[in-house]
Every structure is written in C-alpha cells, then in structure tokens.
Amino acid sequence: MSRKRQSPRNRKIPKSNGLRLVIGLGNPGLDYAQTRHNAGFLALDAIAETHGCRFHRPLFRRYLSADFVRDSGVSIRLLKPLTYMNRSGEVIPRVQRRLGIDVADIIVICDQLDLPTGTVRIKRGGGTGGHRGLRSLVAELGSDAFVRVYVGVDKPVGRDAVVNHVLGVPEGDEAVRFAQGIETARDATLRIIDASIEEAMNEYNRRGTGAS
C-alpha cells in the first residue's frame, strides 16, 4: 500500500541521523527583503531553493520554517524569526527545546560589517560584535556556543551611517558581490552540516572577497 505523501506543513522531520537548526537573521516584510541586514534570510532562501522546500508559518508562531533531509540523512530545519532583528532570539529557546538539540548544533547566518561585501567567514562562539540579532540570541539561549556564518556587507564611513547602510539595498557591482556572498554562505552552511565546522573553516575562511 502506497504511503500518503505529507505536505511540508504537516511533515515531521526524522531525528534518527541527527538534526541541525539553521537560523537566518533578518527583518520581515517586503521593505527589508533585499537589504544587507537580511543576508541571513536570503541565505536561507538559497538553501531552501536548492532543496526544493518551502517556508511556512506554523499556527500562532512568530517564525517561518522549512524542513529537508540531506543525502547524509541529517535533518535540517531552517528558521526565520519574525520578531525583527533586535528581538531575534525570543522565539529560539522554545524551538530548541521542542527539537531537543544542543546550542552547538545551531547554525546562525547573518550580516557582518567588519567583512568586505561578499566575503564569508565561519566561527563558533565568541562575542556579538555589536550585532543586535546575535546579542538577542545569546541573551535568550544563555550561551554563545552556536556556529556563525557571517556574510560581509562592508562598513560605511561614520557611525551615524550604519543603520542606513545595513537597511539599504546593494546596487551595481556591490549587488553582484553581495549575491555571491549569499551563495557562498549557502554552500558553507551545507559544508558544515555534511563535513565539520573545521573543514568548512579551512575551506571558506581562506577565501578572498566575494569568492563563490
């Protein structure tokens, strides 16, 4: 007897071969969709497109999620908080507890002002570098042990320009490098899952600006 195929909304992802939670940081809404600050959301979109899965909003939840399973058997849940950047961490502890995973098995993708546009860097733990989304995650999880995949967006001249910069949309050559960075973040994240953070760091942290 054939099995009834479950919709992405109802499917429960298997945990037998491991489970990873990948969080993309950003702001919800069309006004922010293509901004530098939404690098995390855009990278999750790239991962979901690669695997043919779609985001949905669980009933009464303040996030979007999508599930898929890698060829290795590792189950992946992609998650976009809808609480805006400064409160990104609010929805995460409940999801973490429900999935039963360690903080070390969480990967967070976000923008990084201290990297040239398009450059990707991988790091486990450490400070937040003033990134309010990361600061919220650390505060809510009570730990900084999660893996970060940073997408460089470059730093503007003058502190007062930072907000306008991260909430702006790249144009011209910068837009090309930014798009390359999103693709690289996608590939780097999947490399962490399929191999290890050490192998991914060795491969991607050596790359130059905008490498893909």
Query: Which residues belong to the active site?
Result: 37
Q: Residue type for 98, please?
A: R
Residue 34 Cα distances to 26, 39, 113, 128, 140, angstroms: 10, 8, 16, 23, 27
| CA separation for the pair 104, 145 (Å, rounded) | 5
Query: Which pair of structure tokens corresponds to residue 185?
Result: 């973040």
Give the whole-angstrom CA distance, residue 48 versus residue 65.
10
- Taking the C-alpha atoms of residue 147 and residue 200, their distance in angstroms, rounded to an integer, is 11
- As a whole number of angstroms, the distance between CA 39 and CA 24 comes to 8
Contact 180, 211 (CB under 8 A): yes
Coil, strand or helix at 147: strand
If residue 22 lies in a helix (H) or strand (E), which one and from where to where? strand 19-24
Helix or strand (DSSP H, E) at 136: helix 132-141
